[in-house]
Amino acid sequence: MKGIYIGSTSGYSGKNMLVMGIGMRWQRDGYEIGYFKPVGAMPKEVGGKTGDDDAIFVQGMLGQNADPELLTPVVVTQDFKVKAFSGRCEGLMDKIKAGYAAIGAGKDLTIVAGSGSMYSGKYCGVDGVTVVKELGVSAVIIDRFQKELNYDYLVVLRETLGELMAGVVLNDIAPNMIDEVENLIKPFLERNGVKVLGVIPRDPVMGAIKVSDLADRLGGKIISAHGKADRIVESFLIGTMQVENFLTHFRKNKNAAIIVGGDRSDVQLVALEGECPCLVLTGNLYPNDIILTRSEVLEIPVIVVREDTYSVAKKMENILQRHKLRDIIKIQQGAQLISSNLDFDYLEKVLGLPKKF
């Protein structure tokens, strides 16, 4: 039975994007693909059975409908943690092996999705490293650029997994980092036995979020232009500076939400006239009538939140970095990025997949 484990150096690195991108590509190429997530950390009840929310979503996107308890045999709930920390972790790997065998029966290959980092779940013996070794599957590790790449971590994983580590994918690489990654980091990794299967450039669509989702995540309320709550936010700017300085930054960031105090009508008006995707007004202060009217005329939503500007900006940073891949536009874009930038020929050779055409 052939399998490939998709793991990562940390949470929110792009595992689901890689799983769906690889799965959709191989399905298109004629392979029968299974999908399995041995450990889940987002409990969701379906038909009286507890599964993992992410796993249920991803298997649906891949056109599959396995029993939630078979799809994700180990789901981390509060009760599970209490038992695990008390030393009651018996039989977990047996459940994982049984689920993997059932999901993979009759398939050309089963994609096994990781949860968190490769060491998440070590406290109960179901971390990614252990799962890869116990199932005997090849592993592909995705590492997302966040201030820097985790090149040390990747080299250690190669030493730990040996030949079971098929390679790595370097994700979300900013344009100004591409040369360094291609000419310095990639050669370094490959000299240390770490095959770089792909370098995925940063794509603004992948980090975007709808205004309506943003309002929910910020705990705010949309007070105008409700019909345009599906507009897309790719980044954000803080409007605490003088209007002249704000304009300079604003012109370079057209799809940025503007976070500004509710009393700064000067910045609010400039942002609206410049067609920002939305205004986020802090301090629970509502705008004046002129701002509300222009917002409705220009069809630009205004979100009011209780917290101060600094707190909202920190939240926004986390939201844009850790927003889940659920919109169909993002999924299609992610699949295209994977299809265009991953060395499928090498991966298929390592996995021993026969050519379908």
pLDDT digits (tens, 9 = 90+) for 213-257: 899 999 999 999 999 998 888 888 887 666 666 666 666 667 888
Residues of the chain with CATH 3.40.1390.20: 209-322
Residues 6+ apart with CB under 8 A from 56: 44, 46, 68, 71
Other CB atoms within 10 A of residue 187 CB: 12
Residue type, 195: K
Angle subtended by helix axes 53-61 and 15-28, to nearest 10: 20
- Domain 3-205+324-351 listed as CATH 3.40.50.300: yes
Which residues share a beta bridge with 237?
Answer: 258
pLDDT by residue (tens digit) across 263-281? 888 888 888 888 889 999 9
- Location of structure tokens 């040369």: 179
Other CB atoms within 10 A of residue 273 CB: 11
Give the closest residue to 230 by CA, choosing from 209, 258, 202, 211. Answer: 211
Residues of the chain with CATH 3.40.50.300: 3-205+324-351
Mean pLDDT on 286-313: 92
pTM: 0.83
| DSSP state, residue 243 | H
Residue type, 344: F
The reported pLDDT for the residue numbered 208 is: 81
Given the DSSP bridges, would you call strands 165-173 and 196-201 parallel, antiparallel or unpaired? parallel
Whether the pLDDT of residue 25 is over 90: the answer is: yes
pLDDT by residue (tens digit) across 166-196? 999 999 999 999 999 999 999 999 999 999 9
Whether the pLDDT of residue 325 is over 60: the answer is: no
pLDDT by residue (tens digit) across 252-261? 667 888 898 8
The reported pLDDT for the residue numbered 252 is: 65
Given the DSSP bridges, would you call strands 49-52 and 43-46 parallel, antiparallel or unpaired? antiparallel
Angle at 24 between CA 200 and CA 162, to 5 degrees: 60
The reported pLDDT for the residue numbered 129 is: 97
pLDDT by residue (tens digit) across 106-133? 999 999 999 999 999 999 999 999 999 9
- Domain 209-322 listed as CATH 3.30.43.10: no
Residue type, 316: M
Q: Residue 174 to residues 144, 201, 204: CA-CA distances in angstroms?
A: 11, 6, 10
The reported pLDDT for the residue numbered 142 is: 97
* Confidence band, pLDDT 50/70/90 cuts, at residue 206: confident
Dist. CA 164–CA 153, nearest whole Å: 16
Two structure tokens written together for 243? 């209007």
Q: By the 8 A CB rule, do 256 and 236 touch?
A: yes
* Confidence band, pLDDT 50/70/90 cuts, at residue 146: confident
Whether the pLDDT of residue 326 is over 70: the answer is: no
Give the closest residue to 74 by CA, choosing from 27, 36, 24, 23. Answer: 36
Residue type, 186: K
The reported pLDDT for the residue numbered 223 is: 94
Whether the pLDDT of residue 209 is over 60: the answer is: yes
Q: Residue 194 to residues 1, 17, 26, 152, 347: CA-CA distances in angstroms?
A: 24, 21, 23, 11, 13
